[in-house]
Amino acid sequence: MAHPQHAAARRGRSLASREALQGFVFVSPWILGFLLFTAGPMLFSLYASFTNYDITSQMAWIGFKNYDTMLNHDPLFWKSLRNTLYFVAISVPLQTVAGMLLAVILNRRMLGIRLFRTVFYLPSVLSGVGVYVLWMMLLSPSAGLVNLALSWLGIDGPAWLTDPAWTKNAIILMKLWGAGSMMLLYLASLQGVPNKLYEAAELDGAGRLRKFWHVTLPMITPVIFFEIVTGFIGGFQIFQEGYVMGYGNDPGAPMNSLLFYNLHMFLKAFKVFDMGYAMAMAWFLFLIVLLLTLINLTLSRFWVHYEGGEQ
Amino acid sequence: MSFKHLKKVFQLTAVASLVSLLAACSGGTSGGPAAAQADAAANSGSGSSVSPEGRVVLDYWTWWGSETRRPIIEKLVDDFNKSQDKIFVKHSYYPYSDIFTKELAAVSAGNPPDIMMNDINTVQQRASKNQAMNLSKYVERDKVQDRFFPELWNTVLYNGDPYALPFNTDTRMMFYNKDDFKEAGLDPDKFPDTWDELEQAAQKLDKKHGNTYTRIGYSPQFNSDWNLLQLNFDGGRNFFDESGKPVVNAPAKAEAMQYILDNAKRLGQKNIDAFKADFGSQQANPFLSGRVSIWTDVTNFYTQIRDYGDGINFGVAPLPETKEGAGHWSVGGGFVIEIPYGAKHPDEAWEFLKYMTDVEAQTYWAEKNFDNVANKEASNSSELMSNPVYKASVENLAHTKLTPNPLNAPDYMNLINPQRDAIMLGQTSIQDGLNKAQADVEKLVSGK
């Protein structure tokens, strides 16, 4: 097989460079895939955000016009950004706490605990339009179960999805239902807390709360941190809820209270084919999320505890 | 690698691909493109006794996958395939939520389907953006233009050239329960002529048990809303005048809103919302279950009455008018059949377009679906006209307006609807809300 010339060339190379070459050959499918299917489209979308690209008929350079329209002339842009920020700001902390509490409750030995864990995790497996339609029924002001339950407590429940003051809260409430997916990670990290720490704390006379506060919580901070970062990133991507649950089948209705950032972007891209504008919105969102993640990472130094000591 | 080992790898791959398929399903807005693709693949050329060998194969995309509609569309495709030996049409079904984005992606990738069903109100948008093919050379050659209702034909023109052929349409009418009318002392053979008369009749039809309504005669918020009424009140004019100027805050549109608010005040918005929240389809439709006496819907609602109405004694009438002679204006929608831009076999695809909009196919479609069809002759066929509801619907087309999206403001409704909501919720006055909507749309149109 070996051609004499090739054989000579091979002999000329050092072991290290041969190994490096082989390494690159082995990772090349991933690198090629990344360049072709991730980096390529990203660069294209960055370029397109400076054009009037509409997918099929035109693509002319228009400079910062899309960004200018976005920031200065599109009231729905700000509305959708505010909606999304509101959702993220309330939903992410709430979900983090709910997932953790759920995990703490379900982290004990008792009869049927596996069943309970499964039941609480189950909603995370279900997703999509079916669940939203189900929740639209549950949240119905007069016939829905949520307001029925509230009425037993003597509370006159709000018109969840009809009243713009309540729609986002309704979505946040609905999202709590899926806290089970977070619960699973917390559960795993709770089980990883070494028992000897608890024993040591007990010897020092620590009670239940104190043990949780001084042993459990610090030990699971890496998971909390992970959940917060991914929660933020995921939260900014909220889309379907506003699309499906908009009052009267209007995306984002009533009064655009459910017009989330990504929904506005989607409507611009695929309903009116203003793809250049949508790309500009996408990059702006990328910057926001990047910035927030960097802030999160910086702050994490002050409160996240890694078992192996300072990193 | 042993055979056993190989088998295991295959199984794993199969499971992995299934999982990714499921993931695609839950990720999408509904059924998901992956599922649809599998579905389409499994059904390609289904039901056909003819083979595609040696013919030009055309891919025809629709979203008609339901038990009712799929056999109808596939029978039409099959008949076409049997009728000739040069072209073979393959029907592919994709869910409504995905098909348009999918088509857009296919067109931009230069690999579109050959024939596509599409929305009638957005033809000009697609034409202006090179998404649909200019059909003028075919239309001039084959002179098909006279087949269609002029109102529908106008929607497919862009700069004077056709970019699609109208396929079907619909019109909103009033369905009413004649037994309820009798019981309330109203003439069951005469539907109220004006909106004021309707409101008076509706009051008589309401039924209360204590403080809660067991039956509501009529609310313009039931399966209808201001977007429909404003056009009727304004002499059939939608949100733009002849010259393309926005007229969102025209006096007639404010009157339509006032009418809805008055009705809501009388019934109580809470009661209306409670009714609306309970609405379902089929047997649970409030008109069919006797909870609402007057119901606005497109005319093929008739098929639901027929299939689920349990012998309900109903009548059908045009929307009322504001005053004698003002006109019973209604709104229609519908679909067109077109050749996507860049399709490889436009000559052959055109043959299918011609066939689908010809009298025979259109009559079949109308009979089976109870749809209003675009072909005038099919629409007027004596057999169809013997059904009084169908006859009424065809007559209603005369004062039915289509509302194509203007090119310079395709998403104008996103600016109007929030103001409509704000007015309905009492957060702003009618005039302020409409003025705001008018200003927003004007700004959008001017592009600033």
Domain ranges of chain A: 1-48, 65-303
Report chain A residues whose CB lies below 8 A from the CB of B277: 140-144
Q: Could B277 and A256 be called an inter-chain contact, meaning their C-beta atoms sit closer than 8 Å?
A: no
Higher pLDDT, A243 or B67: A243
Residue A194 has pLDDT above 70, yes or no: yes
What pLDDT shows up at residue A11? 59
Chain B residues with CB under 8 Å of A54 CB are: 129
- Whether B136 and chain A come into contact, CB under 8 Å, resolves to no
Instruction: Kindly report, residue by residue over B144-157, the tens digit of the pLDDT.
Output: 999 999 999 999 99
Residue recorded with tokens 């209306």 = B272
* A243/B29 touch (CB, cutoff 8 Å), yes or no: yes
Q: Quick one: average pLDDT of B349-373?
A: 95
CA distance B52 to B81: 9
Q: Which residue has the higher pLDDT, B194 or B42?
A: B194
Q: Cβ–Cβ contacts within 10 Å for residue A70, how many?
A: 19
Which residues, in sequence order, are bridge partners of residue B336? B118, B166
Which tokens hold the place of B94? 């994709």
Which residues face B197 on adjacent strands? none
CA angle B278, B279, B280 (to 5 degrees): 115
CB < 8 Å to A68, chain B: none
- Same structural domain, B231 and B321: yes
* Residues in contact with B103: Cβ distance below 8 Å, sequence separation at least 6, in sequence order: B61, B112, B113, B116, B118, B131, B340
B170-224 pLDDT, tens per residue? Answer: 999 999 999 999 999 999 999 999 999 999 999 999 999 988 899 999 999 999 9
pLDDT at B49: 59
pLDDT surpasses 90 at A247: no
Q: How far is B14 from A53, CA to CA, in rounded Å?
A: 39
Fold for the domain defined by A65-303: MetI-like fold (1.10.3720)
- Residue contact B104–A270, C-beta within 8 A: yes
Task: Answer with the residue of higher pLDDT: A260 or A157.
Answer: A260
Q: Is B446 on the interface with A (CB under 8 A)?
A: no
Output the pLDDT for position B29. 36
Contact A128 B274 (CB under 8 A): no
Cα torsion angle, A255, A253, A247, A283, sign: negative
Residue B419: its pLDDT value, please?
Answer: 95
Instruction: Yes or no: say if B292 and B218 are a contact pair by the CB < 8 Å rule.
Output: yes
Model confidence at A9, in pLDDT bands (50, 70, 90)?
A: low
Of the candidates B415, B438, B396, the one whose C-alpha atom is nearest the C-alpha of residue B248 is B438
Backbone angles phi, psi at B298, to 5 degrees: -75, 160
Percent of chain A exceeding pLDDT 70 equals 95
Q: What is the percentage of chain B residues whose pLDDT exceeds 90?
A: 74
Mutation target to probe the A interface, by most A beta carbons within 10 A, among B123, B130, B414 is B414
Residue B323 or A181, more confident? B323
Of the candidate ranges A55-64, B38-47, B229-238, B271-280, the one whose mean pLDDT is the lowest: B38-47
Give domain status of residue B318, yes or no: yes
Interface contact flag, A254 B274, Cβ < 8 Å: no
pTM of the predicted protein model: 0.84
What pLDDT score was predicted for residue B154? Answer: 94
Output the furthest CA–CA distance in chain A (Å, rounded): 91
- pLDDT given at position B15: 42
Averaged pLDDT for residues B70-88: 94
Same-domain status, B411 and B263: yes
Confidence of residue A159 (pLDDT cuts 50, 70, 90): confident
Longest Cα–Cα distance in chain B: 87
CATH code for the domain in which residue B108 is found: 3.40.190.10
Could you tell me if B101 lies within 8 Å of chain A, comparing CB atoms? yes
Interchain CB distance below 8 Å, A128 and B26: yes
Find out whether A245 and A161 touch, Cβ atoms under 8 Å.
yes
Reported as a single tens digit per residue, the pLDDT across B95-117 is 988 899 999 999 999 999 999 99
Chain B contact set for A144 (CB, 8 A): 277
Structural domain harbouring B207: 171-331+406-446
Query: Percent of chain B beyond pLDDT 70?
Result: 89
ipTM of the assembly?
0.79
> At residue B91, does pLDDT exceed 70?
yes
Paired tokens of A141: 């002001």
Q: Cα angle vertex B47, ends B44, B51, to 5°?
A: 70
- pLDDT averaged over chain A? 89
Q: What is the pLDDT of residue A75?
A: 86
Is residue B28 scored above 80 in pLDDT? Answer: no
Query: Are B314 and B432 found together in one domain?
Result: yes
**Nearest C-alpha neighbor of A231 from the set A264, A301, A182, A189:** A182
B177 shares a domain with B313: yes
Q: B104, A271: Cβ pair inside 8 Å?
A: no
Instruction: Please report which confidence band the pLDDT of residue B31 belongs to, taking 50, 70 and 90 as the band edges.
Output: very low
Please give the share of chain A, as a percent, with pLDDT higher than 90. Answer: 62
- For residue A309, the tally of other CB atoms under 10 A from its CB is 6
Predicted local distance difference test score (pLDDT) of residue B150: 92
Report yes or no on B35 lying in a domain: no
Q: Are B357 and B144 in contact (CB under 8 A)?
A: yes
Same-domain status, B216 and B77 = no
Residue B214 near chain A (CB below 8 Å): no
Total length of chain B? 448
| pLDDT for the residue B16 | 45
Q: How many domains does chain B have?
A: 2
Same domain for B305 and B260: yes
Q: What pLDDT is recorded for position A38? A: 93
> Considering the domain boundaries, does residue B422 fall inside one?
yes
Q: Is the pLDDT of residue B287 over 90?
A: yes
Q: CA-to-CA distance for B36 and B397, rounded, in angstroms?
A: 35
The answer to whether the beta carbons of residues B285 and B279 sit under 8 Å apart is yes
Could you tell me if B275 and B315 lie in one domain?
yes
Instruction: Tell me: do B246 and B256 sit in the same domain.
Output: yes
- Cβ A255 vs Cβ B86: under 8 Å: no
Q: What is the rounded average pLDDT for all residues in chain B?
A: 88
Q: What is the rounded end-to-end Cα distance, in angstroms, of chain B?
A: 67
Interchain CB contact of A271 with B (< 8 Å): yes
Confidence of residue B52 (pLDDT cuts 50, 70, 90): confident
Query: Which residues have a Cβ under 8 Å from the Cβ of B395 and sit 6 or more positions away?
Result: none
User: A231: helix, coil or strand?
Assistant: helix
Residue B21 lies in a domain: no
Q: What is the 3-state secondary structure (H, E, C) of chain B?
A: CCHHHHHHHHHHHHHHHHHHHHHHHHHCCCCCHHHHHHHHHHHCCCCCCCCCCCCEEEEEEECCCCCCHHHHHHHHHHHHHHHCCCEEEEEEECCHHHHHHHHHHHHHCCCCCCEEEEEHHHHHHHHHCCCECCCHHHHHHHCCHHHECHHHHHHCEECCEECCEEEEECCEEEEEEHHHHHHCCCCCCCCCCEHHHHHHHHHHHCEEECCEEEEECCCCCCCCCHHHHHHHHCCCCCCECCCCCECCCCHHHHHHHHHHHHHHHHHCHHHHHHHHHHCCCHHHCCCCCCCECEEEEECCHHHHHHHHCCCCCEEEECCCECCCCCCCCEEECEEEEECECCCCCHHHHHHHHHHHCCHHHHHHHHHHHCCEECEHHHHCCHHHHCCHHHHHHHHHHHHEEECCCCCCCCCCHHHHHHHHHHHHCCCCCHHHHHHHHHHHHHHHHHCC
A205: left (phi over 0), alpha (psi -120 to 50) or beta: left
- Give the span between the Cα atoms of B360 and B368, in whole angstroms: 12
**Does residue B371 share a domain with residue B228?**
no
Residue B430 in any domain: the answer is: yes
Residues B156 and B268 occupy one common structural domain:
no
Q: For residue A267, what are its two tokens?
A: 């409507």
Tell whether A56 is within 8 A of chain B (Cβ).
yes
Q: Locate B115 and state its tokens.
A: 């024939």
Instruction: Give yes or no for residue B62 having a pLDDT over 50.
Output: yes
Inter-chain CB proximity B129 and A254 less than 8 Å: no
Q: Do A256 and B418 touch (CB under 8 A)?
A: yes
Q: Does B418 touch chain A (CB under 8 A)?
A: yes
A142-151, B187-196, B341-350, range with the lowest pLDDT: A142-151
Mean predicted confidence (pLDDT) in A240-267? 91
pLDDT value at residue B388: 93
Q: Supply A80's token pair.
A: 């959708």
Are the CB atoms for B93 and B62 separated by under 8 Å?
Answer: yes
CB B60 within 8 A of CB B113: yes
Q: Which of A55, A141, A256 sits opposite B104 (nearest CB)?
A: A55
Question: Where do runs of H (alpha helix) occur along A35-144?
Answer: 40-48, 65-68, 75-106, 113-125, 129-138
Q: How many CB pairs under 8 A join A and B?
A: 85
Q: Do residues B332 and B402 lie in contact, with contact meaning Cβ atoms separated by under 8 Å?
A: yes
Q: How confident is the model at residue A4 (pLDDT cuts 50, 70, 90)?
A: low
Bridge partners of B404, per DSSP, are none
Nearest to B37 by CA among B88, B106, B89: B106
Give the residue on B whose Cα is nearest the Cα of A247: B421
The pLDDT of residue A125 is: 84
Residue A171 has pLDDT above 90, yes or no: yes
Cβ of A255 within 8 Å of Cβ of B418? The answer is yes
Question: Is position B27 within any domain?
Answer: no
H/E segment holding residue A12 = helix A4-12
Using a CB–CB cutoff of 8 Å, tell me whether A225 touches chain B: no
Which pLDDT band holds residue A291 (cuts at 50, 70, 90)? very high
Give the pair of three-digit tokens for residue B334.
């519908």
B210 and B306, same domain (yes or no): yes
- Judged by CB atoms closer than 8 Å, whether chains meet at A56 and B274 is answered as no
Q: Are B241 and B277 in the same domain?
A: yes
Query: Which residue in A44, A45, A57 has the most chain B C-beta atoms within 10 A of its own C-beta, making it the best mutation to test that interface?
Result: A57
- Within a domain: residue B431? yes
pLDDT of res. B264: 96
Is the model's pLDDT at A137 over the cut of 60? yes
Shortest Cα–Cα distance, B131 to chain A (Å): 6
Judge: A273–B129 Cβ closer than 8 Å, yes or no.
yes
The distance in angstroms from the start CA to the end CA of chain A is 50
**Residue A45 φ then ψ, to 5°:** -65, -35
Mutate to test the interface with A, among B29, B126, B216, B413 (most CBs of A within 10 A): B29
pLDDT tier for residue B276 given thresholds of 50, 70 and 90: confident
Residue pair B45/B80 in contact by the 8 Å Cβ criterion: no
